[in-house]
Amino acid sequence: MFGSPPARQNRFLVQINPGLGLTAKIGLSSPSFITMNTSMPAYQFEAAEINQGKPLPRRIINGVTPQTTNFNFLVTEDFKIKEYFDAWQNVIFFNNNTGNNFKYIGFYDDYIADVIIQQTSFSDPMQTIHQVVLHEAYPISVGPMTLDSASGSPVLLPVTMNWYDFDVIPIE
Tens place of pLDDT for every residue, the chain, 172 residues?
Answer: 445 555 555 567 888 888 777 777 766 667 777 788 888 899 999 999 988 777 888 888 999 999 999 999 888 888 888 888 988 888 888 776 666 667 788 889 889 999 999 887 777 777 888 899 999 999 999 999 888 777 778 889 999 999 999 999 988 7
**Spatial CA neighbour of 115 closest among 172, 11, 32:** 32
Q: Are 149 and 131 in contact (CB under 8 A)?
A: no
Beta bridge partners of 47: 61
Phi and psi torsions of 122, nearest 5°: -70, -40
Question: Residue 97 in contact with residue 12, Cβ under 8 Å?
Answer: no
- According to the model, what pLDDT value does residue 164 have? 94
pLDDT in the model for residue 11 = 66
Do 164 and 135 touch, CB atoms closer than 8 A? yes
Helix (H) or strand (E) holding 83: helix 80-92
- Phi-psi label, residue 53: left if phi above 0, alpha if psi -120 to 50, beta otherwise: left
What local confidence, expressed as pLDDT, does residue 99 receive? 64
Quick one: DSSP state of residue 109?
A: H
Q: Where are the beta strands (DSSP E) in 3-109?
A: 12-18, 32-33, 35-38, 43-50, 58-66, 69-74, 93-94, 104-105
CATH value of 12-169 in 2.30.110.20, 2.40.128.260, 3.20.20.80, 3.40.50.300: 2.30.110.20
Q: Which residues of 19-46 are buried (b: 16+ CB within 10 A; e: fewer)?
A: eebbeebbeeeebebebeebeebeeeee
pLDDT reported for residue 1: 43
Whole-structure pTM value? 0.80
Let me know: does 147 contact 155? Beta carbons within 8 Å: yes
CA distances from 133 to 5, 53, 64, 89, 165 (A): 24, 41, 18, 21, 8
Check: CB of residue 14 under 8 Å from CB of residue 35. Answer: yes
